[in-house]
């Protein structure tokens, strides 16, 4: 019965065509069967969540981000490789006033830079003006945000400072004023 189901499923997609060499795999779908394929794929993949999720190795409270821990993790970079993934860290519940957010290089390669009161810089590359406006909706307000990133060390003019490269974030609240 299982093989009969597979035959029926493949027949609804049209005869697959291969345009690759013997050591590779590739398949084609007849153009008139594209809608059938999309319906089939949506049905078969309906139970899969496509929301981003990260396995983090360390979680900071937004009010207590320890720059020394960031530096210690970043200094272990020579250990990462096959079988040992670069660690992610999370910062949960970070209250971020607009004054702590900058948009660097807005016309070339927009990068968001967040500077925490303890001096930690967090960078979000490949950004945009629109994304920046979500971090700083008003000049007197703030956002509450959860961040996932990778630890790094920035060495400049002989000074070595820890920093975090933002992989993903979620804004959990927006407050348009600050008392």
Question: Does 54 have pLDDT greater than 80?
Answer: yes
Question: Does 119 have pLDDT greater than 70?
Answer: yes
Between 18-27, 33-42, 53-62, the lowest mean confidence (pLDDT) is in 18-27
Gap between the Cα atoms of 101 and 166, Å rounded: 13
Quote the distance between the C-alpha of residue 88 and its chain's center. 11
What sign does the dihedral 148-151-152-153 (CA atoms) show? positive
Gap between the Cα atoms of 109 and 107, Å rounded: 6
Cβ neighbours, 10 Å, residue 126: 9
pLDDT of residue 22: 67
DSSP, residue by residue, 156-170:
ETTEEEEEEEEEEEE
Quote the distance between the C-alpha of residue 81 and its chain's center. 20
Question: Does 159 have pLDDT greater than 50?
Answer: yes
pLDDT of residue 127: 94
DSSP, residue by residue, 74-134:
HTTGGG-BTTBPPPPEEEEEEEEEGGGEEEESTTSS-EEEEE-TTS-EEEE-S--HHHHHH
Of 56, 51, 53, residue with least CA distance to 164 = 56
Tell me the average pLDDT across 43-49.
88
CATH number, span 58-175: 2.40.50.460
Question: Does 29 have pLDDT greater than 60?
Answer: yes
Domain boundary assignment for the chain: 2-44, 58-175
The pTM assigned to this predicted structure is 0.72
Number of residues that make up the chain: 179
The model's pLDDT over 69-80, given as tens digits with 9 standing for 90+, comes to 999 999 999 999
pLDDT of residue 72: 96
What sign does the dihedral 166-170-176-177 (CA atoms) show? negative
């Amino acid at each position: 019965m299982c093989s009969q189901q597979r035959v029926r499923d493949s027949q609804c997609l049209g005869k697959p065509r291969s345009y690759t060499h013997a050591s590779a795999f590739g398949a084609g779908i007849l153009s008139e069967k594209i809608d059938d394929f999309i319906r089939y794929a949506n049905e078969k993949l309906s139970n899969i969540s496509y929301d981003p999720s990260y396995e983090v190795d360390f979680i900071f409270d937004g009010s207590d981000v320890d720059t020394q821990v960031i530096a210690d993790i970043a200094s272990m970079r020579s250990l990462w490789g096959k079988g040992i993934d670069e660690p992610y860290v999370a910062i949960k519940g970070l209250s971020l006033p607009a004054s702590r957010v900058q948009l660097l290089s807005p016309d070339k390669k927009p990068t968001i830079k967040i500077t925490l009161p303890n001096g930690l810089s967090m960078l979000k590359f490949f950004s945009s003006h629109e994304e920046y406006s979500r971090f700083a909706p008003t000049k007197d307000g703030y956002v509450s945000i959860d961040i996932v990133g990778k630890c790094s060390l920035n060495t400049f003019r002989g000074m070595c400072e820890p920093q975090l490269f933002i992989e993903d974030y979620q804004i959990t609240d927006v407050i348009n004023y600050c008392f």
